[in-house]
Structure formats: structure tokens, C-alpha cells
Amino acid sequence: MNMMNTSPKTLYAALAAASMAVLQGCAIVEPRTVARIDLPPAFVEPQAANAAEVSHTWWLGFGSPQLTALIDESLIGSGDLRIAAERITQAEIALRVANASLLPTVGAGFGQSLSRSDGSGVEASTRRGTSASLSVSYEVDLWGRLAAGIQAQQQSLAISRFDLETVRLSLTSAVASTYFQLLANRARLAIARDNLATAERVLRVVEARFRNGVATPLEVSQQTTTVLNQRTALIPLEVTVRQTTSALALLLGRVPQGFAASTDESFQQIRVPAVAAGLPSMLLTRRPDLASAEAQLSAADANVAAARAALLPSISLSASGGLSSAALFSLANPSNSLSLGLSLAQSIFDGGQRHAQIESQQSQRRILIESYGGAVRTALKEVDDGLSTADRSARQEVAQRATVEQAQRALRLAELRYREGTGDLLSVLEAQRTLFAADDQLTQLRLTRLNSAIDLFKALGGGWTAPAQIALATP
């Protein structure tokens, strides 16, 4: 619609009337997905009476300054955390782009033209021109397609933020687990060296008895074999310590070469904190991975709504105005032009492509519902497993300590009897093997207890709390 010499008030009134006419419709709103899961009233495994609530700095409960320093360093140096942070930045940019779709598009133009025509028998002529224009276009989001796209991007931003918290929790858990593994490997290496020292001490006794004609060459050979076996056993333990140290360096964002973790702390100094699991229903707002799964469901709802709205006509408003003059580089005495436009576009036939897109989005939503339910059930299992391992490994450690004490006593008595000539070497050898195995088993049981505490902290979300109440799952 071209309008010449029309007052601006008349044009604005016409544009407003057209806008009001198309805004009489309503947007398509997709109902929010609700995943119904039967949550148990309590966890199966018992919880310690003195258990403490999970803190955001849960690693402080182990009483290890070195672990705290390592985690602080990993939070600064981890490349995985920086990647997750960049994904948040990308999601924020995508959201800004989506928000911009609700705003009008404004364009401006300026042009100059000069043409000359000259022919045989025709008088030469020159034409000059200057023009300036301004245009505005706006798509009316009558059915909510653009708004649904913005909602989907908002949920994508929330997902990236939840994923960052998940990466942070996984990183801190991995640092703690690897550090405790390193301490345990060092402790096992120390036990093996102590066992070697014991075997070498017994060998000296056997050799002295042999020189005095009391021991036999067989006894010397047997104890020498024991010493050699103990020396050989040190090698894989030393390799394991080196490999665990390298793994810890990678978690900190450092190169393995030249990295050495502090050796100030003893493995036995690490405390095993008791963790309060709370109620199963609380788990839904305490784990960032579950919050991410819920946000994916919300994004799926928005995608279905956008796909439905794409079936309906699109409505656009446009306005443009311009000035033109026959002078070059001048708009003196210009001629005016102004136009308003309203366009309605509807796809007549697309071979079922848009309906197929709706079905695809609905299928994806059903997949996410099942995935969310599976994630909740897995989380419940992880908490119960952590409680079970913590309880049983604590009782095992108490029993194993008693076993170690008895093995130490048995070795002392066997050595004493052998020196006095009332015992045989086989009893000493058996006592050595028993003590070594018992000490090594005790170290591994304590590592199991520490790892079960880490697993429980991780299963409970590491002290994270959802910024707003998210309740897609209804018990």
C-alpha cells in the first residue's frame, strides 16, 4: 500500500489498527510435562546417628589440608570446567539471538546515481539522483512460535549451568578419590617395604643359625626366596604410585612430568565422615544432573509448541519511507514515499514435513521422560549403595584391625620361638605372609570406606541445591 502526501498521524493509526487486528489471536501453549515417579519414603540402608548434612565444601569433612589445596587448584586449572563455562557463554549468546527475534528489524539505505546517454543524432543527456530510505519489518508472534524458541533457549542455558555444576562435582570427587588412592598406594608400598625389612631380618637370623650349624641350607634358601619375592612385589606398587600421581596431575590441569604430590599426610590420618542422606524426595533438588534432565524436559515442551505453531500462518508488518532527489549528493527538494505492509503467509503443501517435525519432537519428549525416570532411579540406587558400602566397610575395618593385631602377635611369637630353637621356619614364613596380607587388606578396606563416603557425597549432589524449586517428578 503506497501512500503519497499522507500525514504521519494517519499512517501510525493505520499501523496500530493492523497490529491490534492480528493480535486478537492466542499463542499455542504446550502443557508442561510431568514425569510421575513413585519415590520411596526412606532409603533402605541405615544412616549413622552422628551423620552431618552435606556441605558445598564437603571435602573438608575428611580433615585433609592437602586435599583441600588440591581441590582448590583443580577448580582453577581444570580444562573441563573452562569448557563447561564456555558452553554457558554459548547458551547465553544463543538466548540473546532468540530474544532479538521478537524485536523489529530496521534497515537504512543511501544511494547515489549518475548516468549519461549520448548517441548519433540525439542530444546528450545526464541524469543524477540521490536517494535515502528507512525500512522497518516485524514478525508478529501471534501463535507463540518465537516465544517457544526463546523458552527452549532459556532451558538450554539452564542445562549448561546445571552441567557446569555436574562437572564441578565430578571433578572434586575425582580429585578426592585419586588423592586417597595415591595415599593408599603409598601406604601399601610402605607395608611391602616393612614386610621386606622383616623378611631380611629373619634371613639374617637364619643365616646366623646356619653358620652355627643349627639351620639347614633348605631354610636359608626358603627365606632367601621370601626376601626376593618381597623385593619383586615392590616394583608394581612403585609403578602404581607413579601412575596415580600422573592421574592426579591431569585432574589439576598440570603436566605429569615433574609433578609430585605432598607426602606430609599419612593415609591413616584421613577421617571418614558420616554422611546424612536425608529423604529420597529431597534428592530431586539436590543433584544438578537431575535438574539438567528436568530442564531438558521443559525445553522439549517448548520445542513441541514451536513445531505446532509452525503449522499456522505467519504474519509480518512492514513500513518503509524514502526521499529521492534529482541532484547529486543533495536531497534538496526531494520527493517522498511511504508505505505500510501487512503480509500473511501459510504453507499449503509440504508433504507432511511439519507434522512429521511435531511427531519427532513428541517422540524426543517421551524419550526424555523415560531418561529422567531412569536417572532418578539410578540416583536412588547410588545413595543406597553408598550407605550400604559405608556401613559394611566400617564394620569390616574394625574386624580387620583385630586381625592385624593378632597377626603381629603371631609373627613376634614365631620369631621368638625360632630364635630359641623351639619353633620352625615354616611357622615364621606363614606368620609373615599372614601379617603382610592382613596389613594390605586393612589399607584397601580403609580406601573402600573413603571412596564410599566420596560416592555418597557425589550421589547426594555434593551440597548443591537447585536455585528454584523444580518439581517435574511427582512422588
Residue 231 lies in a domain: yes
Percent of the chain whose pLDDT exceeds 70: 87
Please report the pLDDT score of residue 18 as a whole number.
42
In 82-227, beta strands by DSSP E: 105-119, 122-140
DSSP symbols for 19-76: HHHHTTS----PPPP-EE----SS-SS---TT-BPPPTTGGGGG--HHHHHHHHHHHH
CA pair distance 457, 455, nearest whole angstrom: 5
When pLDDT is averaged across residues 315-325 and rounded to a whole number, the result is 79
Residues 6+ apart with CB under 8 A from 263: 186
What is the pLDDT confidence band of residue 21, given thresholds at 50, 70 and 90? very low
When pLDDT is averaged across residues 167-174 and rounded to a whole number, the result is 95
What is the pLDDT confidence band of residue 394, given thresholds at 50, 70 and 90? confident
| Contact (CB, 8 A) for 114 and 100 | no
Residue 133 lies in a domain: no
Residue 263 lies in a domain: yes
| Chain centroid, CA 440 distance in Å | 35
CA pair distance 292, 308, nearest whole angstrom: 25
pLDDT for 34 beyond 90: no
Please report the pLDDT score of residue 29 as a whole number.
54
Percent of the chain whose pLDDT exceeds 90: 29
User: Looking at residue 215, what DSSP letter applies?
Assistant: S
| Contact (CB, 8 A) for 144 and 27 | yes
Please report the pLDDT score of residue 266 as a whole number.
86
What is the pLDDT confidence band of residue 67, given thresholds at 50, 70 and 90? very high
Question: Domain containing 278: what range?
Answer: 25-104+162-312+359-474
> Lowest mean pLDDT: which of 62-66, 157-161, 359-363?
359-363
Please report the pLDDT score of residue 119 as a whole number.
65
Paired with 138 in beta bridges are 317
Please report the pLDDT score of residue 348 as a whole number.
81
* CATH number of the structural domain spanning residue 422: 1.20.1600.10
Residue 126 lies in a domain: no
Number of separate domains in the chain: 1
Closest CA to 195 of 230, 224, 240: 230
Residue 249 lies in a domain: yes
Residue 322 lies in a domain: no
What is the pLDDT confidence band of residue 331, given thresholds at 50, 70 and 90? low
What is the pLDDT confidence band of residue 176, given thresholds at 50, 70 and 90? very high
What is the pLDDT confidence band of residue 33, given thresholds at 50, 70 and 90? low
Please report the pLDDT score of residue 30 as a whole number.
58
When pLDDT is averaged across residues 231-249 and rounded to a whole number, the result is 93
Q: What is the largest CA-CA distance in the chain?
A: 141
What would you report as the CA-atom Rg of the chain, rounded to the nearest whole angstrom?
A: 38
When pLDDT is averaged across residues 205-210 and rounded to a whole number, the result is 86
Residue 287 lies in a domain: yes
Residue 377 lies in a domain: yes
**Judging by DSSP bridges, how do beta strands 122-140 and 335-345 pair with one another?**
unpaired
> Lowest mean pLDDT: which of 169-178, 241-250, 275-284?
275-284
